[in-house]
Structure formats: structure tokens, C-alpha cells
Amino acid sequence: MLLDGDVAADMPSLEFGDKVVLPAIRAFGADDQSPETASPRHQYCSVQEFSAPDGQVFAPYWMMQNLQIDEGQFVVLTLQPDVPRGIYCRLEPEDTTFLDLAAEIGPKLLMESALRRYSVLSVEETILIDHGDQRFYLRVVELKPAAVVSLLGDGRIFKLIVEAMKDLISEGNIDCTKSGIALQSMDGSHVSLVSLLLRAEGFEHYRCDRNISLGIQTASLSKILKCSGNDDALSLSADDNGDALNIMFEAASGDRVSDFSLKLMDIDSEHLGIPGTEYMATVRMPAAEFQRICRDLQTMGDTCTIAVGKEGVKFSVSGDLGAGNITLKNNTAAEKESDRVIITMEEPVELTFALRYLNMFAKATPLSETVTLSMSPGIPIVVEYPIGDIGYMRFYLAPKVEEED
């Protein structure tokens, strides 16, 4: 694709940050790749919108400088999936006056404001940030946990969490403490339970002066969260003894802010103590594979028997249409860790569960690449989705009891 900087100069939201403007998806084709004239350098970026003319991409000038290319040269676009969320960043300014500015207004405030326009960073790239009419170039020296990290806000994650549980529970208390946010609630039939934990250190900002419970209706919260973009920064706040949860979304470009208030409910719910249990069998597998199995088996019947044995883990269904089995064997050799199936077993376990609930649990698949099933005879199965390194979403489901003749 041809690179153009003129339009970027006319779009203030593109001048700073790592957003580019691409043509419509349908305009992409084999002719976009031109190895003879494309730059051998690379630059990570994200897409602001798909409104560029066919065959052209609009990018900020600082990005073109990093690539060492001019307007009209060809660039090759490559999708980069599975970029981990950054937890550490060390930058080195080219101009030492930046350090004076940081000391004057506070480095945290300055960098949080500047980096909101960036969605991804890579080691050794140089980024451009502004403060008023001042511009500064900073070199990315070190990143953790990888050489390329995502800076996207937690708004998308929180939205996915609510979407994963809104069909299972209609309401619940969000318990806020100094250590983080937790939610525990049973479904209306008291057959399943959802347990959510988000640790305080996983948030960009977190402050809780004293413990507070926020009673929310999940469907209403979901409607508000759908008003946000995936890379919006999300802020949640509530006053002590207040009657509303304040929700604010800020676009990564900083040029759009939305705020809503959700009326809180007085929910009388008992917090259940979940005892620590040593499970006889655990299965860690790709979350997408578990979702596909549950979806496929539901076309054949209403219940699924999960049996963990020496041969692997077998998912079985039997209904009016017939019967079916899907078996996964222990697979620790897959190149990608999240593709592995890891089975640990002290003794064989076989339990039967309602597929309707397993499919509702599987709606949490976008939160994690893996899911862990923990089972022991006669007690609820635990279906756990880790949420990065900041917490988890766990579902508990009681097994079906076979009726005796």
C-alpha cells in the first residue's frame, strides 16, 4: 500500500499516537504487497478507522521517520495477534528538558496522558508525545513481559466479563476492597455459581477507601458498556452511601469522553464460603476448543458426561437424535502453550452436567486462551478462565444425579 502523510497532518488525532487510517477491508489484495519497494523496517500500530482511499494508508510523520520512508513508498501490512498486555515500560527521552517537565507536573500524570494515544509499544522504537505546544521523542528501552506489548485499556476486559455472566445471573453485588474487586452470585435456579476476582494491582488506577458493595443489574450494566470502544479507557467510581455507579469511557485519542450513571440496587445476598478442595482430576485445554465441544454436543442432547481417565478426557452426549463422543488426549508437545491439553489425575472421574450451563460458561472464552476443568466425584465442577495475571472468572456447576429405579 502507498503511504501518505498529508492527510495525517490534517487529522490532529493522527499526529500523535500510533493510529493509522486504512482503506475498507474489501480493498485489501495481493497487489498491496510490493517487496521491491517496501521498507525492510517495521512499526507496530493500530487502526483508527477504515476510510482511506483504496491502496493508501495514512500514518503520522513520526512513524514514517521510524520506518525511514517517504510519502508514496509501499508498506506491507501484517496482522500481529496475541500481543500481551504490558506491565512495565522504560523510556529514554532524547531531550533532557523532558525530565524537567516530568519533575514539574509529575511523571505519572504526564506519561498516563501521553500514552493513552498509543495501543502498542515495541523495544527500540521511538515514539512522539506532546504536552501543550511542546513535543518530545522518547526511545522505548525495555518492556515486560515481552518485546512487544499492548497498552489497551481494561474497558474491553470488563465488557467481556459482564457479557460472560449476564445470561447466567441477573444481578449481583460487586464487592470492592483495598485488595481488589470480587463478585459472587448464584443463578436463579441455584444450580450454578459465578465467582469473579480482579486484583487491585491489575488496574491502572485503583482506590478504595473502605469496603463497599455495589448492587448491579447485569443486563443494564451490559447496555452501558456496549457504548464503549474496545480501546477506550474505562473508569468506575461510586460515592460512599451513594445510589449510583458512575461509568466513564475515554477514547484512546483523547477526543471523546462519555459518562453514564447506573442506579444501584439493594441486593440481599449471602456470600458463600467456597472451601479449598483437592480435585481428583484437572484438565487444562484451549478455551476455544472447550467452547466448540459444548456447542457441538448441544445439537445432540441436553446433558454432557465428562470422563477423565487414562486415555484422556472424553465428552459424551446421548439424545433423541443419537449419541456422540469427543476425546482429547494428553498433549504437552504443542508448540504454543495455550494449545496444549494437560491432564492430571489421581483417580478416574466421570460426571454429567447440563449442557445449557456449560455453554453459558463458555461465553467467557474471549477472556482467556485456556480453561481449566477441576473435578471430583459428587461435588460441583469448577470451570476457570484466568484473566491474564490480574484475576480469574470461575463457574461452579453441580453434577446431574442419576435417578435410581
- In SS3 terms, 57-81 reads as EECCHHHHHHHCCCCCCECCCCCCC
Strand partners, 198: 181, 391
CATH number, domain with residue 387: 3.70.10.10
Mind listing the pLDDT tens digit for each residue in 258-312? 999 999 999 887 666 676 788 999 999 999 999 999 999 999 999 999 999 988 9
**403 in any annotated domain:** no
Residues 144 and 168 in one domain: no
Q: How large is the average pLDDT for residues 138-151?
A: 86
Q: Is residue 310 part of a domain?
A: yes
| 325 within domain boundaries | yes
Q: How far apart are CA 304 and CA 362, in angstroms?
A: 14
Say whether both 291 and 369 belong to one domain: yes
- One domain for residues 343 and 358: yes
Is 72 within the bounds of a domain? no
Q: How far apart are CA 180 and CA 207, in angstroms?
A: 9
Nearest-10 Cα torsion for 204, 151, 104, 249: -60
40 pLDDT above the threshold of 70 = no
Which is higher by pLDDT, 327 or 104? 327
Reduced to 3 states, what is the DSSP secondary structure of residue 233?
Answer: strand
Output the nine-digit C-alpha cell for 294. 459444548
Residue range of the domain that includes 97: 88-150
CA distance 16 to 60: 7
Q: Is residue 211 part of a domain?
A: yes
Same domain, 194 and 296: no
Tell whether 271 is covered by a domain.
no
- Which residues does 391 contact at the CB level (< 8 Å), separation at least 6? 180, 196, 197, 198, 199, 202
Same domain, 137 and 186: no
Indicate if 27 and 48 belong to the same structural domain.
yes
Res 335 pLDDT > 60: yes
Which pTM was predicted?
0.66
Residue 22: pLDDT band with limits 50, 70, 90: confident
Please check whether residues 144 and 180 belong to one and the same domain. no
* 16-25, 89-98, 110-119, 162-171: least confident range: 110-119
